[in-house]
């Protein structure tokens, strides 16, 4: 599958505008900090501890995970395309660096990271857009670096109405195939037929 940059940027702009709209209370929906009983801590914290280097939180939103990991002593930065969410993240987590941009913008950077967190941040990428975006993430991840990502899973690849913008459900096997094509080796995967929530970790295979 191929992707035209102009179409991709247009899609990113639309999603960023949706998350930045004053009609949606994104701060209340997402939260700005991580609660002590957040079940995702059991997934994200051990992963971050194993990274042992710089982490990039892509689609960092309100900065809640970026700030939380920074508070645990990790070297972590955020990347977020929505102006409003960048403002919230910087105000809430003033000591953390947040970059204003989307995954596509990483194609122009010379920076490299040892870990990339993509926690529900690729859910709005269409089947045409996702392969290119994953390849971009692979390009900025050091060899044998780690990617941790969550997404919506289901028995078939399909779009659905998300409260903010159109999102996609992916069969786990399809997501693994796209990651492999992008240069990743999936190391762990979790999905449940009774729940749409899925996550996996993958390592960056050497070129």
Q: Note the pLDDT of residue 54.
A: 98
Region 44-49: mean pLDDT is: 98
Pinpoint the alpha helices (H) of the chain. 5-20, 26-30, 41-51, 64-71, 83-92, 130-139, 172-181
pLDDT-based confidence at 12, cuts 50/70/90?
low
Tokens of 118: 């993509």
Please compute, for residue 42, the number of CA atoms within 13 A of its CA located in the half-sphere on the CB side.
Answer: 3
CA distance 60 to 22: 18
> Residues 42, 48, 49, CA angle at the centre, nearest 5°?
90
Region 5-26: mean pLDDT is: 56
> Residues 189, 196, 42, CA angle at the centre, nearest 5°?
50
| Contact assessment for residue 8 and residue 126, using Cβ atoms and an 8 Å cutoff | no
pLDDT-based confidence at 1, cuts 50/70/90?
very low
Provide the percentage of residues in the chain whose pLDDT is more than 90: 75
What residue ranges do the domains of the chain occupy? 5-25+39-204
CA distance 193 to 154: 7
Does the pTM exceed 0.75?
A: yes
Q: Note the pLDDT of residue 21.
A: 59
Region 5-34: mean pLDDT is: 63
Q: pLDDT tens, 79-115? A: 999 888 999 999 999 999 999 999 999 999 999 999 9
CATH fold of the domain at 5-25+39-204: Rossmann fold (3.40.50)
Q: How high does pLDDT run on average in the chain?
A: 89
Q: pLDDT tens, 144-187? A: 999 999 999 999 999 988 767 788 999 999 999 999 999 999 99
């Amino acid at each position: 599958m191929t992707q035209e940059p102009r179409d991709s940027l247009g899609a990113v702009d639309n999603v960023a505008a949706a998350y930045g709209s004053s009609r949606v209370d994104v701060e209340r929906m997402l939260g700005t900090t991580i609660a002590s009983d957040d079940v995702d801590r059991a997934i994200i914290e051990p992963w971050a501890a194993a990274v042992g280097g710089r982490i990039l939180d892509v689609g960092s939103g309100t900065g809640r995970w970026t700030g939380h990991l920074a508070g645990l002593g990790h070297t972590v930065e955020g990347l977020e395309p929505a102006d409003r969410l960048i403002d919230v993240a910087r105000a809430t987590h003033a000591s953390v660096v947040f970059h204003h941009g989307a995954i596509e913008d990483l194609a122009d950077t010379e920076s490299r990271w040892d870990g990339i967190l993509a926690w529900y941040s690729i859910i709005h990428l269409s089947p045409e857009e996702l392969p290119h975006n994953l390849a971009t993430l692979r390009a900025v991840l050091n060899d044998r670096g780690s990617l941790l990502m969550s997404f919506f899973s289901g028995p078939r690849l399909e779009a659905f109405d998300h409260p903010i913008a159109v999102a996609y459900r992916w069969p786990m096997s399809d997501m693994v195939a796209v990651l492999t094509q992008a240069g990743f080796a999936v190391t762990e995967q979790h999905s449940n037929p009774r729940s749409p929530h899925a996550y996996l970790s993958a390592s960056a295979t050497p070129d």
